[in-house]
A and B are shown apart, each in its own frame.
Chain A
Amino acid sequence: SNGDSSPPDSDLEHLSENICKSHLETCQYLREELQPSNWQTVLQTDLDTYQKKSQEDMWQLCAVKVTEAVQYVVEFAKRIDGFMELCQNDQIVLLKAGSLEVVFVRMCRAYNSQNNTVFFDSKYAGPEVFKALGCDDLISSVFEFAKSLSSLQLTEDENGLFSAYVLMSADRSWLQEKTRVEKLQQKIKLAMQNLLQKNQRDEGILTKLVCKVSIIRMLCHRHMEKLSAIRALYPEMVQTRFPPLYKELFGS
């Protein structure tokens, strides 16, 4: 192409529509399904059940839920124009590094700021539900992040574009065609900028969103730390009881 001329608006419009459609098709729970009024919050009886679980059982339950969510993110990526045109190595690298990041972005859709609960296991659950994991610090950081991102009140389209932006991070290690990913991420960022302007969002929201990326990465890093700590405690557990996709993504 002739240097870095920014893509025509029609290209950006088309990419924006493609990503928003992909998001709605693969968002796992539709917005209306997630209405807190549709779901009960975890009752004391349930709470006792969760808190009485062994650390291994609770880790296994959460690993299964994370893996379910990640599969929807893989389908989201496949539907984004340009992703399947990347070389297979880069598709794998972006998903391995970014799928859990996108799950954290999507989680704010399933967060109820009224009572600091998140949709989990068909109920709205607070941080205390996850006590048996033995990761209270990480769990409270995750809820804090969900609270802060949901306070931006992103529309579905904005959430979809931000998810795509996070996924197509060109600074991932081991990318073979870094420039191609950079161009794709830049296009997505411009499309996101256009959408935020169209939605008359306040000036600083794009900067706020880009700043959230470092927090998302810190959460993913701490997830890996907790995983290696639990694996040191129960070496067999991850191998025998966690979903294969979870092991493939986070095992090494």
Chain B
Amino acid sequence: KEKHKILHRLLQNSSSPVDL
């Protein structure tokens, strides 16, 4: 978890296509 904080966060947050 520590080594891949950003990937974990991206995987957790539900972003809509609009955010993209």
A residues near B, CB below 8 A?
25-26, 28, 71-72, 74-75, 78, 84, 88, 91-92, 95-96, 244-245, 248-249, 252
Contacts and interface: CB of A to CB of B under 8 A. Distances in A.
B17 A248 contact: no
A63 B6 CA distance: 16
Interface string B3-19: 11111101100010100
A71 B4 CA distance: 14
Contact of B6 (A72, A91, A245): A245
B7 A95 contact: yes
Interface residues of B, number: 11
A92 B8 contact: yes
A252 B7 CA distance: 14
A78 B10 CA distance: 9
B7 A245 contact: yes
Contacts of A26: 17, 20
Contacts of B11: 74, 78, 84, 88, 91-92, 95
A248 B5 CA distance: 8
Given A71-B10, A78-B11, A88-B11, A248 B20 contact: no
A25 B10 CA distance: 16
A75 B3 contact: no
6 contacts: A71-B20, A74-B10, A88-B8, A91-B11, A92-B8, A96-B4
